[in-house]
Amino acid sequence: MNLSQTILGVEFENPTVLASGILGITASSWRNAAENGVGGITTKSLWPKAHQGNRNPTIIATEHWTLNAVGVPDAGPEKAVEEIGSYNTDKPVPLIANVIGLTAEDFAEITEKLVALKPDYFEVNLSTPTFEKLRGKLFAQDAKESAAVIKAVKKVSGTIPVFAKLTPNVDKIGEIAKACVDAGADGLTAINTVGPGMAIDLRSRMPILAWKKGGLSGPALKPIAVRCVAEVYEATGGKVPIIGTGGVYTGEDALEMILAGASLVGVGTSVADRGIDVFKKIVDEMQLWCTNEGVWDIQDLVGGMHKELARRASLSQA
C-alpha cells in the first residue's frame, strides 16, 4: 500500500500533517512527531514581531469538543529562525511555516524573514479567531482582503509554494478559496476552528475562558471540515492541493477528508486525546482499510467522492 505523495515538488511519506498550533515551535517537538509517524510538520503561527497571547484559562476540552482562546502567542522571528534552523540540520519530514500578521505588509514581512530557511511551504493564516479581537474580522471572511494578503506573500516567497488557510465561518468558502487561488495561492488549507463557542461554569456563572469565547475544534468539527474541503475542491476544480484539517482522529477520518478532496490531512486536537503516536495509529488504520478495499495508491482516492458522483450522474443520463 503506497501512502506517499509528491505534492508541489515535496515528497510526503504519508498524508498526515501536524496542524499549526500543536506542539509549539521547537525543533525537538517536531522531531518527536516525525519519530511517531507524521508525514509533515506545520509550525505554530509566526508573527513579524513577538506577540503576547491571551491570559489563562485559554483552553477547555471534553471528549466531544475543545474550545481554545490561546490568542496565537509567539516569541518572535528570532526564535522561529533558531528552531527552524535547528530542525533543518536533518529535517526528517517536510516543514510548513505558518505565517500571520495584522496587515498584508505584516504577512509579507515575516515571510521574507523566513524565506532563507527554505520551508517546504508557507501556510498563510487568514483565519484565526484572534483576528476578531485584534481587527474586528478575519481576513478569510473577505475575498478581496484574502487576495491582497496572498499577493503580498507571493511577492516575497520566491519559489516556495503558498497555502491559504481558510475559515468555515463564511457562507461560501469556495468563493474565498477561488479568490486566493486567483491571487496566486498554490494550495489551500481547510479549515481553521469554527465558532467561536462559549462554555459557562455553573457555580460561578461565568464564562470558563478568560476571553469568554474560543474556537471550536475536536471531533465535532469533522463534518463541517469535510463539507468545506468538498466545496473548496469543487470551487477550484481539483486543480490545487488541499490540506484537510478538522476533527481527524482515525484513519477512516483521514480517508474521508481525502475522498472530499484533500491531498494531505492535518491532525491537531487528537494528538492530545490519542497520544503523540496518533500519526502512526492513523497511518496503520489507513493502510488496513485500503488493503481490505483493494486500494494500492492513496492518490487514487483524492477527490474520490466527486469522481463517484460524476460517474453515477453519467450512468443516470445514459
Residue 1, pLDDT score: 79
User: Cα separation of 171 and 88, whole Å?
Assistant: 40
Grid cell listed for 316: 443516470
User: Cα separation of 31 and 107, whole Å?
Assistant: 26
Instruction: Please give the tally of structural domains in the chain.
Output: 1
CATH of the domain at 185: 3.20.20.70
pLDDT above 80 (res 96): yes
pLDDT above 80 (res 23): no
Q: What is the mean pLDDT of residues 248-260?
A: 98
Residue 317, pLDDT score: 82
* Domain coverage including residue 243: 5-317
User: Cα separation of 306 and 131, whole Å?
Assistant: 33
Grid cell listed for 261: 478532496
CA torsion 13-19-22-25 (nearest 10°) is 70
Question: Each residue of 303-318: pLDDT tens digit?
Answer: 999 999 999 998 988 6
Q: What is the mean pLDDT of residues 113-126?
A: 98
Residue 102, pLDDT score: 97
Share the mean pLDDT of the chain.
Answer: 96
User: Cα separation of 120 and 109, whole Å?
Assistant: 18
Q: Around Cβ 237, how many Cβ atoms within 10 Å? A: 10
Q: What is the mean pLDDT of residues 276-282?
A: 97
Residue 22, pLDDT score: 85
Q: How many residues does the chain have?
A: 318
Residue 267, pLDDT score: 97
Residue 25, pLDDT score: 78
Confidence of residue 295 (pLDDT cuts 50, 70, 90): very high
